[in-house]
């Protein structure tokens, strides 16, 4: 849903404000301030409400809030006299008082050009088990069907994280098709009752909403992987008859024979692993999965990746011990499943960030992409590894591909970050600042983003904002210093000093 305010249209999905056909460019915090006021126009919004929504509860001055309110007013033509749109309520806050009309911001307007081959998005299957605790199981079924379809080179498949942006939302099928830029949508449900399992699915043509195929699959729980194969083959056959059954069967490999191990890993994947407690819980669940199945390659790969996250966020208790363990897990994962794109991707990203083993990481990423040309993670997470290798042109290209494959990805800040770093280290400062500001807005708790943003702003001569970025870095990681960052080697060795020079100018202590 977009919002029409007189001659203006505010589009939350595209993060755009237009006056007629003219795009009005807004700073991210100004856009968020305006959107929050519009969405809460039925009430007075306090300063605390705004700070919680726009600044994630961080301390900001009254002057900062007022400056964003003034910018939001200017953006929609509020001159404070003839046109009153955002009203200040003394000692209480602010209220959006102009008339607002909800409109379809996507009517007749695709977000992307349709690919030149059959394209599909698999929407999250509904959990029909009557037990909210089984939600992760339905998500796991959906993920595995996406993964199987993704390995078929004749299909274009939207990544899981963007499909899941529509979870729990009532949205017209045709609108989803436009927003994701695909020909087909698969939706379905999962019912798990005791040892019995039922999966239903239906395939819809996105442009017309026409029903193309539907079926129901019943089995015992122990045959869950066989059922997934049957669903995948039926869907692929309905979309692309030229896809051979042999190719599909080759693509659908059981990740483990142990359903309990599978269950525990999916519980770990259900954690939002960017807070310390949650990443630690996810690590514990992955370890338990490995105890149940010591040959579970995906569990080793995710475990190596999650330990790497601890390092990136500066949370390791014993850097040498944890790094060595994660490196061992990454190698073991690839030894166990050398043809699994997911395993290769997460193992490669772990090595690239943990010990800069690019001799293994880069070939693993290349193979992951060859095996699954629809993997947003192989392209997007791998783009960060390309920046570490100094291959900035490839990093930009792969980050862009990831954004197309997964436009609503919760980790899209990584894609933006790779873009920003690549421009920074090519001394392309306007592009750098734009992409790094976007990354910071997408995830205001990602520690490395603020190092790069502070450095870029300093090199661009925007010292006040540069100092703010470095202060944010130190809030998130108080132990960060120039010497600590140099030891961590966050970028290619030829560019470390340029990065650190900017950070030093912005106030990062030695």
Provide the CA 111 distance to its chain's centre, in angstroms. Answer: 18
Closest to 439 in 3D by CA, of 456, 462, 427: 456
Query: Other CB atoms closer than 10 Å to residue 79's CB: what's the count?
Result: 10
What's the CATH code of the domain at 44? Answer: 1.10.10.10
Give per-residue pLDDT as tens, 299-338: 899 889 888 888 877 777 788 888 899 999 999 999 998 8
Closest to 252 in 3D by CA, of 324, 146, 100, 333: 146
Residues 223, 153 share a domain:
yes
Give per-residue pLDDT as tens, 69-101: 999 998 888 877 666 889 888 888 899 988 887
Provide the pairing of β-strand 93-96 with 86-89. Answer: antiparallel
Give per-residue pLDDT as tens, 429-485: 888 998 998 888 888 888 889 999 999 999 999 998 899 999 989 988 888 888 888
Average pLDDT over residues 351-380: 90
pLDDT computed for residue 29 by the predictor: 87
How far apart are the C-alpha atoms of 278 and 189, rounded to whole Å? 28
Residues 181, 71 share a domain:
no
Give per-residue pLDDT as tens, 235-254: 665 665 544 443 444 444 55
Residues 427, 306 share a domain:
no
Give per-residue pLDDT as tens, 377-392: 899 999 999 999 999 9
* Range in 76-85, 390-399, 416-425 the model is least confident about: 76-85
Q: Is residue 114 part of a domain?
A: no
Residues 153, 98 share a domain:
no
pLDDT computed for residue 234 by the predictor: 67
* Domain that includes residue 159, residue range: 119-253
Residues 132, 222 share a domain:
yes
Residues 84, 12 share a domain:
yes
Residues 505, 395 share a domain:
yes
Q: Is residue 112 part of a domain?
A: no
How far apart are the C-alpha atoms of 157 and 400, rounded to whole Å? 16
Q: Is residue 208 part of a domain?
A: yes
């Amino acid at each position: 849903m977009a919002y029409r305010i007189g001659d203006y249209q505010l589009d939350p999905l595209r993060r755009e404000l237009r006056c007629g056909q003219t795009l009005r460019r807004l700073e991210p915090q100004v856009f968020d301030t305006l959107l929050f006021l519009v969405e809460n126009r039925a009430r007075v919004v306090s300063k605390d409400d705004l700070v919680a929504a726009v600044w994630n509860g961080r301390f900001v001055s009254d002057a900062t809030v007022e400056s964003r309110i003034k910018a939001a007013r200017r953006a929609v033509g509020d001159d404070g006299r003839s046109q009153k749109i955002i009203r200040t309520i003394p000692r209480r806050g602010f209220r959006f008082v102009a008339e607002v009309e909800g409109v379809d911001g996507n009517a007749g307007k695709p977000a992307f050009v349709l690919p030149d081959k059959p394209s599909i998005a698999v929407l999250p299957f509904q959990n029909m088990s009557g037990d909210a605790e089984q939600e992760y199981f339905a998500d796991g079924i959906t993920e595995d069907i996406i993964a199987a379809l993704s390995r078929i080179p004749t299909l274009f498949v939207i990544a899981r994280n963007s499909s899941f942006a529509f979870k729990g939302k009532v949205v017209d099928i045709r609108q989803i098709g436009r927003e994701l830029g695909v020909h087909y949508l698969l939706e379905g449900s999962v019912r798990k009752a005791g040892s019995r399992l039922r999966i239903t699915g239906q395939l819809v043509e996105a442009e017309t909403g026409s029903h193309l195929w539907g079926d129901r699959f019943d089995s015992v729980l122990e045959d869950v992987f066989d059922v997934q194969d049957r669903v995948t083959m039926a869907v692929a056959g309905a979309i692309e008859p030229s896809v051979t059954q042999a190719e599909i069967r080759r693509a659908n490999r059981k990740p483990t024979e142990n359903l309990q191990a599978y269950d525990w890993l999916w519980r770990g994947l259900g954690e939002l692993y960017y807070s310390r407690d949650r990443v630690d819980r996810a690590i514990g669940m992955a370890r338990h999965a490995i105890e149940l199945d010591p040959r579970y390659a995906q569990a080793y790969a995710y475990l190596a990746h999650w330990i790497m996250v601890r390092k990136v966020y500066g949370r390791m208790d014993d850097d040498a011990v944890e790094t060595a363990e994660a490196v061992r897990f990454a190698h073991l994962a690839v030894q166990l499943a050398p043809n699994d794109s997911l395993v290769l991707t997460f193992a490669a990203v772990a090595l690239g960030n943990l010990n800069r083993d690019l001799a293994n990481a880069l070939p693993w990423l290349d193979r992951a992409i060859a095996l699954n040309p629809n993997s947003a993670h192989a392209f997007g997470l791998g783009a960060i590894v390309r920046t570490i290798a100094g291959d900035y042109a490839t990093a930009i290209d792969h980050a862009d591909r990831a954004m197309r494959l997964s436009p609503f990805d919760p980790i899209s800040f990584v894609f933006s970050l790779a873009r920003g770093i690549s421009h920074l280290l090519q001394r392309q400062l306007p592009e750098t600042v734009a992409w790094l500001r976007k990354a910071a807005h997408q995830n205001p708790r990602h520690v490395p983003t603020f190092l790069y943003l502070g450095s870029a702003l300093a090199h661009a001569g925007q010292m006040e904002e540069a100092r703010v970025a470095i202060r944010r870095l130190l809030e998130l990681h108080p132990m960060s210093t120039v010497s600590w960052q140099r030891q961590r080697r966050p970028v290619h060795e030829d560019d470390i000093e340029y990065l650190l020079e900017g950070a030093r100018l912005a106030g990062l202590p030695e």
